[in-house]
Amino acid sequence: MTALSVPPRPSRLWPTIFAVLAGIIIISATVGLQIPWADVPKIPENVAKYFGLMFAPPSWEKLPRALMEMWRSISMAWLGAILCVVISIPLGILAARGVGPVWLRTVLRGGFALIRAIPEVIIALILLTVTGLTPFTGMLALGIAGIGTQAKWVYETIESAEEGASEAVRAAGGTTPEVTRWALWPAVAPALMSFALYRFEINIRTSAVLGMVGAGGIGSMLANYTQFREWDTVGMLLIVVVVVTMIIDAISGAVRRRIMEGDRSGELARVV
């Protein structure tokens, strides 16, 4: 009889090395932060204290102004999303494999990566020196900062689309622009419109942060009242931000689902 050969035991060397390196990085990061460990147990008590100052009860005296500033933040986010989408869709299409030449794809993707590496706040601080402390600065910062991510979504969506329609148009003698117009665009348009709405949702949240550095909107009001420690007004502002953001998310989510799934009322009627 032939003796059964036992497979060699898999080596644990590389997983062990990676685990040790990950542990060293975590420990180094923790030490570098210089966390005051003695104050950590007091965090829940302090959170409860300031929550009480903000929400027991909040002050509704400045609610009309808060709603006006929130509308400015929404306008800033919406215009920034439009600017981002208008620029990123054509550039993202050119950066897709099979559409733009190699040299152009390389340049565009490098530019998108560079934009993604710069946070919105940094872009806003740079623009502040040119456009001043206005919501226009926030709109530009949101529009420019979103181009990197939005364009990446565009060319990845195009590259993942089914190639049947593209091959049919090419077989009929279609050029690259014609393939893009009649094959790629109809296939990816619903997804790109959904991404555009998602960009608007992201901008709503980011606009509040940009307001804290002077870009206007509800964030500027929130920063001012936090600085003067008027916690009851800060609580009211936080309620406005959370409620309005949740409402917009719900509406935008419903619209995005309708775009991706289409009108299903006919199917429901046939089932009934």
If residue 266 lies in a helix (H) or strand (E), which one and from where to where? helix 265-271
Residue scoring higher pLDDT (38 or 77): 77
If residue 3 lies in a helix (H) or strand (E), which one and from where to where? none
- The CB-side HSE value for 51 (13 A sphere, CA atoms) comes to 6
DSSP string spanning 66-94?
A: HHHHHHHHHHHHHHHHHHHHHHHHHHHHH
Question: Which CATH class, in words, describes the domain spanning 63-266?
Answer: mainly alpha
Which amino acid would we find at residue 253?
G
Provide the pLDDT for residue 4.
62
Give the number of other Cβ atoms within 10 Å of residue 237's Cβ: 28
Using alpha carbons, list the distances in angstroms from residue 190 to 85, 196, 259.
14, 10, 6
- Per-residue pLDDT tens for 178-204? 777 777 787 888 888 888 888 888 888
Provide the pLDDT for residue 6.
66
Residue-range domain boundaries for the chain:
63-266
| Mean pLDDT of the region 87-101 | 89
Provide the pLDDT for residue 269.
46
Q: Are 112 and 252 in contact (CB under 8 A)?
A: no
Q: At residue 176, does pLDDT exceed 60?
A: yes
Using alpha carbons, list the distances in angstroms from residue 251 to 40, 255, 257, 264.
39, 6, 10, 18
